[in-house]
Structure 1
Amino acid sequence: MNTKQVGDETEARIIAALIAEGYSVSIPFGDNDKYDLVPDTGRRLFRVQCKTGWIEEDVIRFKTASKTTVNGDTTMVNYNGEIDAFAVRCTDNGSLYWVPPEDAGKKSTYLRLTEPKIDHPSVNRAEEFRFDVRLP
């Protein structure tokens, strides 16, 4: 599969999981918004950017910025203030994660699968961000 197909599969699996949890999900028209989905909790709408993650050693890694090309110049663009959450599908373990932007890095984020050697506030433990634990 190419990267577009992988991204489409990630979005489809996230949509299916949100619907299974009872959310109504809207999809913005076109590809010009910073968010991919708008789940409705019944009380609030969330702007969600879907990301595909993968396992590197003992962490799940996903990109929190996207490459954009304008007039031949490539830049990294983050989602600063434009989304309410990242919904992440890890292709290696099939799990889904809900990560608020304040818990994410500027370019990449790492969700630790194993217990860290030191306890540090910036360590994100994957189990704390699983859909079944973190969905609003």
Structure 2
Amino acid sequence: MPRRRPSRPLRPAAPSSCPCGTAAPYRDCCGRLHRGEAAATTAEALMRSRFSAFAVGDAGYLLRTWHPSTRPERLDLAGGPRWVRLEILETTGGSAVHTEGTVRFRAHYEDRGRPGAMEENSRFARHAGTWTYIGAI
């Protein structure tokens, strides 16, 4: 009869930082927004949560937070780059008291083992009381 090793108790994995760049664990940061437990209170918070959605492959969240006037019918994230880091370069408006705002950012990625980055100045607006992504300026 084979000897069995004593089983070790499983330890939960250490919380990993949210892809959006905060020190908070994903589950407590953008994960809350992705699960619908909270909504972005600023345009920057929405930008960060959308970057995280790209990083974790949550196309449903991206579509839900896209303004209806510019939202595509579907979004396929398969085969795209791996999003690894976000830098917020500038914001205008977009606070809890505004109805519109912009966020200029640089998103770093890896594609087929090669690093890259893209910059965009994105426009956001409130729609039905929540922040939505309209598109690049």
TM-score by length of 1: 0.28
TM-score by length of 2: 0.28
